[in-house]
Amino acid sequence: MEKTDYKEELFRYQRDTGERIVAIEQRVISIFKSVSRLEAHAEKQNGRLQKAESQIITMMTVGTVCVFTIPLVVTILMRYL
């Protein structure tokens, strides 16, 4: 192999490697953008889920209180009326 052939081969290898690295970097950037969008969406959904859970807990608490107080109120009203 002559010296010029070796240099051309080396230059071609470096150019191809550089192109591959650029392509990989672009894919990585695209993946990170997708992941950041997914994280933002997950945070949004977690906020909605926490709000829904707190509403369910509030409704269960009100329901439990009503289950005990309504019969008590009805019993008191029936005795004194």
pLDDT (tens digit per residue) in 33-65:
999 999 999 999 999 999 999 999 999 999 999
Report how far Cα 52 is from the mean position of its chain's Cα atoms.
17
50: tokens are 């926490």
Report how far apart the first and last C-alpha atoms of the chain are (Å, whole number). Answer: 114
Residue 32 is predicted with a pLDDT of 96
Please state the pTM of the whole predicted model: 0.57
Closest to 59 measured CA to CA, from 71, 47, 67, 69: 67
Residue 1 is predicted with a pLDDT of 53
pLDDT, average across residues 67-75: 94
